[in-house]
Structure 1
Amino acid sequence: MTDSVTDRFLRYVVIDTQSDAKSLTQPSTMKQRKLGELLVDELKEIGITDAHLDEHGYVYATIPATTTKNNVPVICFSAHMDTAPDFSGTNVKPQIVRNYRGGDIPLVGDKSRVIRTAEHPILNTMIGHDIITTDGTTLLGADDKAGIAEIITAAEYLINNPDIKHGAIRILFTTDEEIARGVDKVDLKKLGADFAYTLDGETAGTIEDETFSADSAEISIQGVAIHPGFAYGKMENAIRIVGAIIDRLPKDQAPETTRGRDGFIHPTDVSGTMEGAKLSLIIRDFTEAGLKTKAALLEEIVKEVLSGYPGSTYTLRVKEQYRNMKVVLDQHPEIVEYAEEAIRRAGMTPVRGSIRGGTDGSRLSFMGLPCPNLFAGGHAFHSPLEFVSSQDMEKAVHTIVELAKLWEERA
């Protein structure tokens, strides 16, 4: 029996696969392997004999070529198995609003949470769709289990229809994308692809060929600890110092106050004691120059705050996470142009977009595997309001199939 993309998606989202940035292992959580093992079994069941899970939790598989041409590029389709640590992904209870007729969607598990059309106007384009949400107590996991379901459904279609001519197609499912480690251990030689497409985007018909460039920043503060009863003129509380740094971050350079091509500095984690405290941040901009400016501003703020605490010290470490993939993709314009044509063939009007974030494709592009991002259909990622349309997931399946056909035709 052929499973629909919705059947697969509902099967995957109930498996908890949240990643953990504090973990030092790859994958960061062993529960991601549970989904990986299931996916390998399903890929083998549909006839992909080389599907396997490697020691890092990645799934590799190949759809064999059906063409007699020997010059068809090897395409890879990729998605990530982990879900974001931002909100609970445990005990996901999906619900389906069938034949959506418009209006707000209440979430039955937490009546305070409602998916409102005023906040998500894309719903107005989904009249008649079957919309999948959570019950409001967890995130859904459309980011990126929708992409996984779409790739496997397209793979089964291609295998069951060998008269469709296409080159060899690689499948790659990664771990830990949400904590910026998604391709740390990918073996590109084993993958053997000429280029790739991630399915990790939102609105149907969108292809994204530009992402933020991204750095992380870690600030450690060493304060002056002393018994509070004898602290006058002596104590320098590291927690207060970190609080002062956060308070001085520019309010107009925060995620909640920026949009479009504006970057930001965003605190993500605070921990510590009176003696020592740590502050984790992420820095985002579409240009490397913008990243450097923001990193310099951050250090200036830290120095200004520490000037009022002569007994305390700090360290600031900035680490590269990923870079804007457009730098690479502009050198290979046909990769995006063919995707636009595939979207047209699947019945949509293609829209090029920029991601205020990143995908595995950002880093893969700079590792030598050019990789734009295709829509997967989900919305409101990383939140209990996350939702996806079954019909939009089906459109993504059609787009994958048309892309496979298109590269063979043009070879």
Structure 2
Amino acid sequence: MSILTPTTTIADAFTSLLIGDLPFRFTAYDGSSAGPEDSPYGLHLRNERGLAYLVTAPGDLGLARAYTTGDLELVGAHPGDPYSALMQVKGSKTGLKFRTPNPIEALNIMRTVGITNLKPPPIPPQEHAPRWRRMMEGFLHSPERDAEVIHHHYDVSNRFYELVLGPSMTYTCACFPSEDATLEEAQFHKYDLVANKLQLQPGQRLLDVGCGWGGMVRHAAREYGVKALGVTLSAEQAYWAQQKIKEQGLEDLAEVRHLDYRDVPEGDFDAVSSIGLTEHIGVANYPAYFGFLRDKLKPQGRLLNHCITRADNKRTSTGAFIDRYVFPDGELTGSGKIITEIQDAGLEVHHEENLRMHYAMTLAGWNKNLVENWDECVAEVGEATARVWGLYIAGSRMGFVTNEIQLHQVLATKTVDGQSGFPLRPEWTP
């Protein structure tokens, strides 16, 4: 790598810190450019504020800040669905990784970008505080802190979620009965799969923790005659779910409370479903979490845990962008860890299933909805938030397609004295 001179352009400074070749076209407001001219995708740095974001937070976080504010523009792809552009970067030999400059390079880059750009611009309001600062606001995964981070992500706008998620208002992996099934059909099929794995019967009682907008609660009540209780830390979700329950005339069977799952007083449930909550719990809290769910079950009761996992059991972090912009305090681990903790809590595991590609298809549907409803989404939450969601959904889709992350359902029973109530073969079609 040659030493930069004081006359270096912004494009030269940008590419000099890359590890490997630039996998797309890069242009900047000073007229400089770099990267393949025939690339279908590119990034355009629009102004000095965007440059300051990149300089003061090198790597993913600086890119996310500049992109969120619109100072860094994606060329060739809709901001509601940048999946193809991300896959082009992913498919290159080196991706998009930066190195630390040596002292001489750093000095010359400072001369190029200007001393004023070394002062960090205001952090976009969509960005959550760093984890170390959140520690000052409450212990990790305390009820108060969990309530705050759930509010940050889920209490955006119920109308926005309707536009992105579709009529089902289901913010978890669907299960596609066929490749040409619609997203709504796949979400219904997912709820039916969970109900069948739990072997729900009329008159039984179901607890759905982290119930979101009440999709599983309403499905169990409407389709199976089950008395279902759902709890969520999101006030917006609880309000929407309560209104929908009334609208569908399910008040006698379905209930959604704005409540921490740890504060549910009832017990002796026939079944417990946890669909998309484990990601928020924290790996260190798994023993208490699965122990709590076990204690809510009657003997031979069933637990269905549905959550995003890593492809291995080695890491738990979600990365800076996800932690600061999407799921603060979220942690992911492998399905092996999930199964181990469920077993160590005293539950008997009978079945597990990986729905990785189903989540990739689900996310593609959400990206499509976001693009088709882009103007209304922007009017509802602002362009910066809509950009975050487009990037997050597409990035997550890429993670599932490339097998960096997976989605596992684990079915277990509260077996007592060797009696699980589980048949010799599953009742549903695996």
State whether TM-score is above 0.5. no
Higher relative contact order (CA 8 A, sep 6+): 1
Q: TM-score, normalised by structure 2?
A: 0.24
Q: TM-score, normalised by structure 1?
A: 0.25
Larger helix proportion, structure 1 or 2? 2
Larger strand proportion, structure 1 or 2? 1
